[in-house]
Structure 1
Amino acid sequence: MSKNDPMVLSETKLNRAKLWQIVLFTLNNSSTNIYMFAFGFVTYYSTGLVGLAALFVSQIMGYIRIFDGLIDPAIGVLIDKTDTKFGKYRPIMVLGNVITVLSFLILFNIHSLGDGMKIPIFLLSLVVHKIGYSLQATVTKAGQAALTSDPKQRPIFNIVDGWVTTLLFTGGQIVVANFLVPKYGGFTPEFFKVFIPGVMVISAILGILAVIGIAQKDNKQYFGIGEKTTKTSFKDYWEIIKGNKPLQMLTMAAAFVKFNSAMFGDQIVLMILFGIIFGNFGLSGTISLVLILPNLMFTTFAATIAQKRGLRYSYVRYLQGGVISLALLGGLLFFANPGDLSFSNPSLWTVAFVIVFACAKGFSSTPTGLALTMAADVSDYETSVSGRYVSGMLSTMFSLTDSVASSFAPMSIGWVLAAVGFAKVFPTADTPLSPQLRLAGIVLLAVLPLVGTLIALAFMKFYPLNKETMEGIQIKIAEMKQGNPSDGDAEMPQAIPNTIPAMND
């Protein structure tokens, strides 16, 4: 029987997790995602209550994400070097959540400060927030390498994460757009006094459950090849980054996909789409409710394909679907007007828009979740090549490129809106639709995401970790754990082909 035969993998002792462990650990991503959702309202808080200029805030929000990316490698090294009686990952998760809570307590009380203190404290709280957020969020990618090495189990994370994230963001948008905003008359101090504490409590509960989920796997025997893992010094990190082609290709592709996801989730973009083009911001909550089932189907189908054909295959196919649906979305928005979208009396136009919007958002955003799991594949690849376990540093390389690329989301929004006359204040639900705002909406929701998707596809053409390759990598890691003479060698795993796999493998 060939070493690369999938039957060999089924006989190999893999590190498998219980279903409840995967489900609970998935909630770590949800715990940080709810802060990402809340972070979308910082622009309205800082311009409406603090009194900062819209273009200034949009640029600062972009720069702070770049800062987030720049500190990520240091956080990755910190995770790799962490070794306590409570494990590697759990202390970082708890510390990150506590810091994030403190940052929000400061950030959303700036309006009560004197004018001379507002900008310095605003910037400081953003910096502290990104440190805490990055600490906890990095564990989501890094911890998966220890949670399970079974290629069929890893996509389960994507299914659960997709379901929870969809329910979390949909529920959040409905609560904000249909309850809190009408009740408190917009993004007022009373709105934030209710909204922000709720975010903190929900995030903390989800974080605690995630700590429980990873607890059993958070020990050295599940890190790489266990006690045989090659020690890594600081000088080794650059060689690892330089020599890991899967890392280079996937991080670049994932960065542009994250940009797309950020655009579809940005509150200003949603305001332009639903509050101005369609004339009713409450529709953003309604359509979130309507899209719950389609979003769950997109996520579940992507993970199901990944279990059968591999994560790379699923990732590429979804990007290809995104190219088509984003082009169609741009065409529909060109003809859209206030009142066209109605769920009380749906027309054929409403049905067409919902289908196209669901496909554009689903195809272009779902790969973001797949990349979380693919980061574990990249970590395993590095272990099979060098014998090193550096899941923390490798995971933060994804965060670095994600942060740099996604920083262009608020920056792009600011530039586009400034170009159409909104440099000082952002458009609101009371802003009338103009040809310039329609064009801005098309650029932000269709043109820029389409360009990002095409670039991501180009990078994925050179990403080699397909289904067969990953099976060979898990075989080699198992042999290295058992003391095979080839332990820790720097040779390419035999399962990795010498040529780049075709787009349809």
Structure 2
Amino acid sequence: MVFHEEETVSTTTTPKASAPSGSMPSHRVLTYSLGDVANNLSFMMTSMFLMVYMTDIVGLSAGVAGAIYGVTKIWAGFADLIAGNVVDKTNSRWGRLRPYLLFGPAPLAVFFVALFSTPAGLDEVAAIAWIFIFDALFQLAYSFVNIPYGSLASAMTQDPVDRSKLSGSRAIASSLASVALAWVVAPQFEDTQGDGIRMQFMITCIILAVIAIVLYLICFANSREVVPRAAGRISFRQTFKMLRQNRPLQILLLTALLFLTSNFVFNAVGLYYVRAITGNAAYFAFLQLAQTIGMIFFASFAPAITRRYGKRNGYMLAALLAAVGYAMIFFIPGGTLSIALVAWFIVGLGVGGSNAMMFSMQADTVDYGEWKTGIRSEGGSYSILSFTRKVGQGIGGWVGGFVIGVFGYAAGVAVLEGSTVAMGLRVATGAIPAILALAAMISVMFYRLDSATHMQVVEDLTERRTQNAIAGAKGVDAERTLVGESNLGDGRTTLMRRPGTPNPPIVTIFGQRGSGATEISPMVAELLQVPYIGQKFSSQTLAQADRTTLLSDSGFNRWMRNLSYSGSQNTDMAVAMDTASNHRIAQDNTKSVLADAENGGVLLGRNGALVLGPVVGTLHVRLIAPLDKRIERVMHKAGLSASAAAEQCEIEDRLRAEMSRKLYKWDPNVDEEYDLVINTASTTYKQVAELIVEMYRSKYPENVPPQNQAGN
């Protein structure tokens, strides 16, 4: 999604979401991840090796090389906006996004190979022009492939579990591709003065380009666009109005700029350091592997860190770890690989953690912006973040080249331990990144959107959306759906009927697997003589889903979901599309719940307690039971063994909660969200149903028709 000045982005409505079972075929998940392998063969090639190529093979000064690196990376931010605008208007027989995976790789490969094939004998001006032009063209071509690829996951499925698996597999593939690339390319920089080095490098790039094209085509052939684009409208005016009043987003952008600058100073000159200080360019692959392990390790525990310490504190921890790793790199004795491996691992912890926390915090700032200004702008917000990150990458490369140039680095200069040049490499690779990482840590301290504040924002937004949806359906102003403080003191402020008109009975029920919710809910509906509205969200009740589907949610799949968007450098558009898609699904569910409950009803699940939380005349119930009792019930009902029943209870409960957090950022298992929490273990289902009905009659006697007051 991109900026459009008062221009409609699309008009197609979104279909109902499929069951959140994570049932996408494994081969489709794998082949999608191959697209990011192809991405990284070129993107990480320029990030890690372009600077050294310009100085040591082409012969440019470090300062000039850094300037080219900086300008073209910043240009890449504008290229993303251009590509996004064009892609969004595309329609073809292959879809909107997939054609760019079919036709985009060829020009990308040509510009990539040309960038690393600067002819010998060019004077300095001509060499600068060659690299600058082909790098600019490469960045534009890359945007025309990466933007559609990043958007493709949300076009392939609306299932939040499947989308998380796609992004998790992408993160793993991206990280491993970076390691493999370092393994193949880094040793070629050990001696850049030998005969035939230019030809050797060009051949390497041709091979990488061919592999990338094949991988893109495999991704194209195995992907499917099954989710039409959603209606949307974004403008510069609205986005910047939101940004001006969105202080958390402002702080996050500053933090991202500082951290990305630190990381790309490190990336741009890291190979120089490894070759000179550790003593062998081939060690770069081992160090890259250590960094990748660190990234994956932190990302694996990011959700747990977030729940325990909060996102801001998690980001501060990540930035501190990165600063410690960079500081170690500054002080490492020459020729010491073992300590360097530890330092690179710690840097990886920081980089993986910052990515994971940043995208999670960014999603919160989208909610905050809507709450503060009434403008929801996933595309605009993430476009600003993406551009900021590209600026950070560009500044980082420029600073790295400038610093080592000031300290006297030039191609062919011997770098002796203790020399000025060696100190320059230590400063550029260690000291400056450490200072910038600490600055990022300090800046994020001013990010005040903590979990409690965000939860209040989410609750306010949900109430506002419910009111607006009711007003839209009734054709009235949203203010007319409001009442003052309820006489009952229950905080209900939203009317579904005209003031003074009795509201039909509405009960929402959410239950653990095996708590009896699917049996009790219809009984309550029958006693209140209102419709029973089953688990319709995402098409069918998870409790009645196919056993093999539920039991397929392995620990590996959960781990992949934890890695979402933490291992790839260019995932801004993918996160934006994922966030926007989740919001659309939640909106569709909200409208459906309100429509189904218009004349009263008993709703099972569907996040009813959140959607209908502020509605006058509603009762929200949660059903629980001890695990052993729930296992016994599932065994009897589904004919499962004790172990299979226990696994199904654990999986279904977790998937329900995960889906609610993903789509609504709400935990349905918090007792405080309900009026009544009932342990169904020691009573019959009929008794539980009668207790709920009696509670409703007692709370809202005016809403129950006379024929129901008698009990039957």
Taking a change above 3 Å as real, the CA distance of residues 368 and 325 of structure 1, as seen in their structure-2 partners, is closer
Equivalent residue number for residue 490 of structure 1 = none
Pair member with larger Rg: 2
Residues 15-414 of structure 1 aligned to structure 2 (within 5 Å): 18=24, 20=26, 21-39=28-46, 40-112=48-120, 114-115=122-123, 117-178=126-187, 181=190, 185=194, 188-217=197-226, 219-220=227-228, 223-224=229-230, 229-230=231-232, 232=233, 236-243=235-242, 245=246, 253-266=255-268, 268-272=269-273, 274-290=274-290, 293-302=293-302, 305=304, 309=307, 316=312, 318-342=314-338, 350=339, 354-368=341-355, 395-414=382-401
In 2, the alpha carbon distance for the partners of 1:339 and 1:101 equals: 37
Task: Please say if residues 147 and 214 of structure 1, whose CA atoms lie closer than 8 Å, have aligned partners that are also in contact.
Answer: yes
Give the drift of 1:128. 0.7
Task: Please say if residues 277 and 334 of structure 2, whose CA atoms lie closer than 8 Å, have aligned partners that are also in contact.
Answer: yes
Equivalent residue number for residue 418 of structure 1 = 405
Report the residue type matching 1:45 in the other structure: Y
Equivalent residue number for residue 501 of structure 1 = none
SS at 2:431 equivalent? helix
Give the drift of 1:132. 0.6
Taking a change above 3 Å as real, the CA distance of residues 290 and 64 of structure 1, as seen in their structure-2 partners, is closer
In 2, the alpha carbon distance for the partners of 1:466 and 1:199 equals: 47
Q: CA offsets, 1:15-39, max 9 Å, x none?
A: 7671534443333333222212211
In 1, the alpha carbon distance for the partners of 2:25 and 2:448 equals: 30
Report the residue type matching 1:407 in the other structure: G
1:447 aligns with 2:449: no
Q: CA offsets, 1:269-328, max 9 Å, x none?
A: 2322x22333333322233345554443333333x549x959x95x64542222332343
Give the drift of 1:212. 3.8
In 2, the alpha carbon distance for the partners of 1:178 and 1:474 equals: 48
Task: Please say if residues 159 and 300 of structure 1, whose CA atoms lie closer than 8 Å, have aligned partners that are also in contact.
Answer: no
Task: Please say if residues 255 and 402 of structure 1, whose CA atoms lie closer than 8 Å, have aligned partners that are also in contact.
Answer: yes
Report the residue type matching 1:286 in the other structure: F
Report the residue type matching 2:321 in the other structure: S
In 2, the alpha carbon distance for the partners of 1:146 and 1:62 equals: 33
In 1, the alpha carbon distance for the partners of 2:98 and 2:159 equals: 22
Structure number having the greater helix percentage: 1
Report the residue type matching 1:32 in the other structure: N
Give the drift of 1:83. 2.4
In 2, the alpha carbon distance for the partners of 1:380 and 1:212 equals: 36
**Segment of structure 1 superposing worse, 65-74 or 282-291:** 282-291
Report the residue type matching 2:211 in the other structure: I
Report the residue type matching 1:263 in the other structure: V
In 2, the alpha carbon distance for the partners of 1:213 and 1:394 equals: 31
Taking a change above 3 Å as real, the CA distance of residues 98 and 475 of structure 1, as seen in their structure-2 partners, is closer
Equivalent residue number for residue 477 of structure 1 = 587
Structure number having the greater strand percentage: 2
Q: CA offsets, 1:214-260, max 9 Å, x none?
A: 4233x52xx23xxxx25x3x7x3431453365876655544444334
Instruction: Report the number of matched residues.
Output: 454
In 1, the alpha carbon distance for the partners of 2:287 and 2:375 equals: 46
- Alpha carbon RMSD of aligned pairs, Å? 4.4
**Segment of structure 1 superposing worse, 316-325 or 51-60:** 316-325
SS at 1:110 equivalent? coil
In 2, the alpha carbon distance for the partners of 1:185 and 1:127 equals: 29
Task: Please say if residues 241 and 247 of structure 1, whose CA atoms lie closer than 8 Å, have aligned partners that are also in contact.
Answer: no
Give the drift of 1:136. 1.6
In 1, the alpha carbon distance for the partners of 2:102 and 2:449 equals: 38
In 2, the alpha carbon distance for the partners of 1:335 and 1:157 equals: 40
Give the drift of 1:402. 1.4
Report the residue type matching 2:440 in the other structure: G
Give the drift of 1:409. 0.9
Task: Please say if residues 80 and 392 of structure 1, whose CA atoms lie closer than 8 Å, have aligned partners that are also in contact.
Answer: no
In 1, the alpha carbon distance for the partners of 2:41 and 2:320 equals: 30
1:434 aligns with 2:419: yes
Task: Please say if residues 181 and 191 of structure 1, whose CA atoms lie closer than 8 Å, have aligned partners that are also in contact.
Answer: no
Give the drift of 1:447. 2.0
Equivalent residue number for residue 5 of structure 1 = none
TM-score, normalising length from structure 2?
Answer: 0.54
Of structures 1 and 2, the one scoring higher in RCO (CA 8 A, sep 6+) is 1
Q: CA offsets, 1:1-56, max 9 Å, x none?
A: xxxxxxxxxx9866767153444333333322221221132223333333322211
Which runs of no fewer than 5 residues in structure 2 stay unpaired? 1-15, 463-582, 596-610, 615-663, 667-712
In 2, the alpha carbon distance for the partners of 1:466 and 1:209 equals: 42
Task: Please say if residues 382 and 388 of structure 1, whose CA atoms lie closer than 8 Å, have aligned partners that are also in contact.
Answer: yes
Give the drift of 1:67. 1.4
Give the drift of 1:131. 0.5
Task: Please say if residues 96 and 135 of structure 1, whose CA atoms lie closer than 8 Å, have aligned partners that are also in contact.
Answer: yes
Which runs of no fewer than 5 residues in structure 1 stay unpaired? 1-10, 343-349, 486-492, 498-505
In 2, the alpha carbon distance for the partners of 1:292 and 1:125 equals: 29
Task: Please say if residues 184 and 191 of structure 1, whose CA atoms lie closer than 8 Å, have aligned partners that are also in contact.
Answer: no
Report the residue type matching 2:404 in the other structure: L
Taking a change above 3 Å as real, the CA distance of residues 317 and 484 of structure 1, as seen in their structure-2 partners, is same
